[in-house]
Structure 1
């Protein structure tokens, strides 16, 4: 992935704007009306072919491209570029009938059937053979088509099937383990199989972590999570290899799904020319603007700061929640502008025209069931015009001085069973992110082993299962004059899910100047000192070695008087350890930001301020007007409205 990740063969200068386009669901006469409405709305790109495998290859080896030929020509004639999908997300019935072994198997042994979507096991050789054959046929036919803007590989990998427990997956898992460990003795050591008499004498004995009478081996489960992410990636890479061979100049992407647990997106990012994301914030959730911002920042970070693409969002209600609230007036525009502010070079929707049949017929679209004479289509036109006015932001970047560690293996390990308490990894991240977001502080996410040199503050919360190299990397932050903040349940385990002995924390002990003697989950408690007041969820028996206690537990029996927040100075830098979840976490955040000379402001509730290039975006997600100081100016913004200022 490069800095010009969204540079296309067409030399396109506009932001992407459009959505998934599924004309195969409609009579041919509707297509011309689609083109008319797309022109009115300022649509620049349409994603086509996502679920069209059965139409493109109605029988094995028999391709029907005539309809897609006509569609691609029609898009080109109307000035709309094509983000052409490889159509491999839903295999056709003839393939399932011929190769029923492609169907995925759940942990309890249930075989999932045809009739929905994503009904394939990632490890299936038959699936990959037929998928790459289709991809080659499409690449050879459309690689030189003047409408082709980018390749869109598959769709939302792992959304419905991210873990397959079939016999074919077992074979793949054994191959993966042999490559990882080399010999069975190394696997036994890594998995701690001396416990519960789980020792193996050969790789052929190893199975996926299927349903067992008692808790499964934690390291086996963690490795199967890693394997499953890698196996889906192998499907992605198989298609990419064909596209790179046949159409080497065409950019390639696949659509991620925000803060999605089941795939380690860090390991996927370098395979793509640009990062894409699908995100559907819940209009009923008052935290949606904040959690959406968190996902936007992650997408930008996965691309190393390069522009990314919002590939899917809903114009109003979705169809898959228990209660599918519509987006109130202004929300769709605000969430779209939020993406642009946080580095997106395009805003796409699912989908262009609302389906009249199928599971997603009540999922909102750019053209709703009501047609063009509707609130949603008028908003579609208005957003297209506004995005056109922001086209000069294309390719520009955002600059962050604060980073948060995002680690998928820690996420998987933290939420396994048999832990001291039931904790949510996303809750750990969100607790810190919320305080930064509400103070107008832009955040990059980083892998713990990544380059941290550009950041004045680095926060690692809940990073449970890091290896030694990652801990040593984090320890360099205070040494070079930065601020390192480490939250509880960080570095309690190593990358094998083995407990770190002698005070947990590993190489971070020296940087933090503390030892953790005992983990102490809390239902409620209090601390005195910095961020004083109520605390929840967690406590620890912490002993300082050469750190100072900034806050101590009070009234918590065995924890009373023990350090809850510590600080160790290191030259011009400092390292903080936070052994609980303070309700007044914002006080600690402000203390660290001020010490690191990072600007912040206490923004009104529901307001975010983000700068990209020469624009500052003031986005008011609240239902009341607000006034915000920006570059010495008082900016008033109405309810669910935005102000975009040139600096």
Structure 2
């Protein structure tokens, strides 16, 4: 992450998404008045209105939005405009059918939903460039327009495309990358199964085949998909910056098959996010008290790209979509649970605590037609007062008190989870252990945050800056199968300077083309870890366990086990397997490297074994000397100048006891804290240690 990839604002941007084209004009003035009275200062609009801006090709109309923006100005509301390219109009796809996506089986994705166009059709790109250029020119001198959202949720719903233009673009992408068929054949290992290409015309996207695809081919397909998406965003970014360089341009990620770190670096001023914790509430695989809290993991990934960012869509009610009766794609029809009293405000605080200096509730009022009549906004159709509006107003009151403190402070990171796009893609390609990679990442995040350690997420490859790693006590790289020598050198340097690096199983055995190294496991990590993996096995049940030497506690080691053999004199066995033919064999090994340590784990990380690992590494609750905070309470540590403070968030339906062992004080009023304090359900406390 470069230093300038962040939202820069001198006030907290708080507001709502509003679509004037959906409502009668006589409602607008009253809507904007009530927004301002509620404490909002910003409105997002425009990303769904291409047919309004350009009702027919080449004829542009801005009157409707000019009027809406003028009303916003009258009520003291700033505007973020979206470029409307994610939902192209019917006239475009009727005239340019080559712009339509095709699925893996060649089925055309017709007009009638959204995200139905591909990123490589020349006609579509030309029309996108034209509408963005016209909008930028028209609004570049409008002071109420403070920034732009590029497109909307890139790759949401469908993150691949197999149109004819995609095939041609992929072939050219491969030609540019490899230069010759000889190099492509070598990288993909096409000698296997007689896949060798002898003419560029033979190189195609992955297509339906009787059995497994070539992993190297698949990895490049995912890279090409990401590059095409980023190029699509950059086309718009360049047009906006050419005509309105004084306005920010962001995007509301994160979705599949995009290297979002690369997207941020190349095509955004900062990354933003759409926060919908109710999706996590739908997950039966997480404990009830931790479901919506898992959204903090996604916020940590955004923060790793942009230290300060925006929430362009914040949950404002139960979400839901309908109309999937005939369609085999997508999530299926659904309706989420309504946020319980307090949760709406809590979720807004969750976003703010983790680095969002701007937050827009989605949306002002529930739409009356279309696929999102189940996606509820703050207001219901009748505009009567309700507790969702009241909670948004409470958060607005909070921002009056805390906005300057939030904008003027930074999160203090103690740890980070490393990831990269190649390995994320490979987790899909190697589906036999891919799901366990994602579970490992979530278990690590949960274990760290239940110790009240802040956990960023950093993309290794676009970052590649040793200085970026130095603030962290420990780095966890759970999914690192594909590594290059330069990746290893970067992590070695970090460890030598005193850091802890932790790898998951199956790490380092393949290169960045997805070919296996002709080296003992763990490949390029063997010398760094001082350890070999001499054997491995899938574990089809959950009976495998390992015991940590430091505590004597036995913890789960399911799914996959590697039998480790340390050879470095600096190696220490932290845990051994408990059963089967490898009973007593090393499962986790830590090796001293310079002033730090490198840890290799032969089993996937789980909710059960992560706490034992963290304890063995000496990672402890940083609040222990001041307060005893239940693990159910998330704690975010922030720094304003030299002034450190904490945000405590209770995601449970029960009061949580916070026990302060030495004096503290609440913010902003300075009320004293000492002894036991009950944090009510779904509530927030901002506090610091008392000044001496």
TM tier, shorter chain?
over 0.9
Question: What is the distance in 1 between the residues matched to 2:661 and 2:178?
Answer: 56
Aligned counterpart in structure 1 of residue 114 of structure 2, from 113, 117, 124: 117
Displacement of 1:616: 1.4
Aligned counterpart in structure 2 of residue 414 of structure 1, from 421, 427, 430: 427
Q: Which residue of 2 aligns with 1:374?
A: 386
Displacement of 1:543: 1.6
Q: Which residue of 2 aligns with 1:389?
A: 401
Displacement of 1:71: 0.9
Q: Which residue of 2 aligns with 1:638?
A: 680
Q: Which residue of 1 aligns with 2:603?
A: 580
1:89 and 2:86 correspond: yes
Q: Which residue of 1 aligns with 2:301?
A: 298
Question: What is the distance in 1 between the residues matched to 2:130 and 2:44?
Answer: 21
Displacement of 1:370: 4.3
Q: Secondary structure at the match of 1:54?
A: helix
Aligned counterpart in structure 2 of residue 322 of structure 1, from 334, 342, 349: 334
Q: Which residue of 2 aligns with 1:628?
A: 658
1:152 and 2:153 correspond: no
CA contact (8 A) 1:342 1:612 kept: no
Structure 2 runs not aligned, ≥5 long: 322-332, 663-673
Q: Secondary structure at the match of 1:389?
A: helix
1:276 and 2:272 correspond: yes
Q: Secondary structure at the match of 1:507?
A: helix
Displacement of 1:6: 2.5
Q: Which residue of 1 aligns with 2:180?
A: 183
- Worse-superposed segment, 386-395 or 310-319: 386-395
C-alpha spacing 1:520/1:128, structure 2 compared with 1 (3 Å): same
Q: Which residue of 1 aligns with 2:646?
A: 616
CA contact (8 A) 1:19 1:47 kept: yes
1:105 and 2:118 correspond: no
Deviation string, structure 1 residues 406-447 (Cα, Å, up to 9, x no partner)? 222112112224x65453432121111110011110012222
Displacement of 1:322: 3.3
Deviation string, structure 1 residues 541-584 (Cα, Å, up to 9, x no partner)? 22211122221112122x22211011112343111111114623
Aligned counterpart in structure 2 of residue 219 of structure 1, from 198, 216, 221: 216
Question: What is the distance in 1 between the residues matched to 2:125 and 2:274?
Answer: 24
CA contact (8 A) 2:498 2:596 kept: yes
Q: Which residue of 2 aligns with 1:239?
A: 236
CA contact (8 A) 1:405 1:447 kept: yes
1:560 and 2:583 correspond: yes
1:261 and 2:256 correspond: yes
Question: What is the distance in 1 between the residues matched to 2:4 and 2:257?
Answer: 27
Q: Which residue of 2 aligns with 1:331?
A: 343
CA contact (8 A) 2:270 2:305 kept: no
1:209 and 2:206 correspond: yes
Aligned counterpart in structure 2 of residue 548 of structure 1, from 572, 593, 609: 572
Displacement of 1:384: 1.6
Q: Secondary structure at the match of 2:320?
A: coil
C-alpha spacing 1:14/1:370, structure 2 compared with 1 (3 Å): farther
Deviation string, structure 1 residues 66-117 (Cα, Å, up to 9, x no partner)? 1111111111111111101111111100011100110001011111010001
Deviation string, structure 1 residues 254-307 (Cα, Å, up to 9, x no partner)? 1113xx33211111111211221012122344333332111111111112xx21
C-alpha spacing 1:566/1:254, structure 2 compared with 1 (3 Å): same
Q: Which residue of 1 aligns with 2:459?
A: 447
CA contact (8 A) 2:335 2:374 kept: no
Aligned counterpart in structure 1 of residue 158 of structure 2, from 154, 157, 161: 161
Could you tell me the TM-score, scaled by structure 2's length?
0.88
CA contact (8 A) 1:439 1:603 kept: no
Q: Which residue of 2 aligns with 1:359?
A: 371
CA contact (8 A) 2:79 2:144 kept: yes
Q: Which residue of 1 aligns with 2:446?
A: 434
C-alpha spacing 1:425/1:279, structure 2 compared with 1 (3 Å): farther
CA contact (8 A) 1:112 1:119 kept: yes
CA contact (8 A) 2:574 2:616 kept: no
Question: What is the distance in 2 between the residues matched to 1:606 and 1:160?
Answer: 33
Deviation string, structure 1 residues 126-146 (Cα, Å, up to 9, x no partner)? 111001101111111111102
CA contact (8 A) 1:314 1:363 kept: no
Question: What is the distance in 1 between the residues matched to 2:8 and 2:221?
Answer: 37
Displacement of 1:535: 2.1
- Counterparts in 2 of 1:48-63, with a 5 A limit? 48-63=45-60
Question: What is the distance in 1 between the residues matched to 2:314 and 2:295?
Answer: 11
CA contact (8 A) 1:72 1:82 kept: yes
RMSD: 2.0
Q: Secondary structure at the match of 1:580?
A: coil
Question: What is the distance in 1 between the residues matched to 2:264 and 2:98?
Answer: 30
Q: Which residue of 1 aligns with 2:487?
A: 470
Q: Secondary structure at the match of 2:518?
A: coil
Displacement of 1:179: 1.6
Aligned counterpart in structure 1 of residue 632 of structure 2, from 606, 621, 628: 606
- Worse-superposed segment, 611-620 or 90-99: 611-620
Q: Which residue of 1 aligns with 2:670?
A: none
Question: What is the distance in 2 between the residues matched to 1:529 and 1:125?
Answer: 59
Q: Secondary structure at the match of 2:502?
A: strand
Question: What is the distance in 1 between the residues matched to 2:586 and 2:316?
Answer: 49
Q: Which residue of 1 aligns with 2:246?
A: 249
Displacement of 1:176: 1.1
- Worse-superposed segment, 262-271 or 435-444: 262-271
Displacement of 1:372: 3.5
C-alpha spacing 1:69/1:537, structure 2 compared with 1 (3 Å): same
Question: What is the distance in 2 between the residues matched to 1:324 and 1:29?
Answer: 31
CA contact (8 A) 1:401 1:598 kept: no
Q: Secondary structure at the match of 1:500?
A: coil
CA contact (8 A) 1:372 1:378 kept: no
- Worse-superposed segment, 564-573 or 41-50: 564-573
Displacement of 1:470: 1.1
Question: What is the distance in 2 between the residues matched to 1:598 and 1:474?
Answer: 25
Displacement of 1:629: 4.2
- Counterparts in 2 of 1:334-353, with a 5 A limit? 334-353=346-365
C-alpha spacing 1:136/1:323, structure 2 compared with 1 (3 Å): closer
CA contact (8 A) 1:438 1:602 kept: no
Displacement of 1:605: 4.3
- Worse-superposed segment, 529-538 or 221-230: 529-538
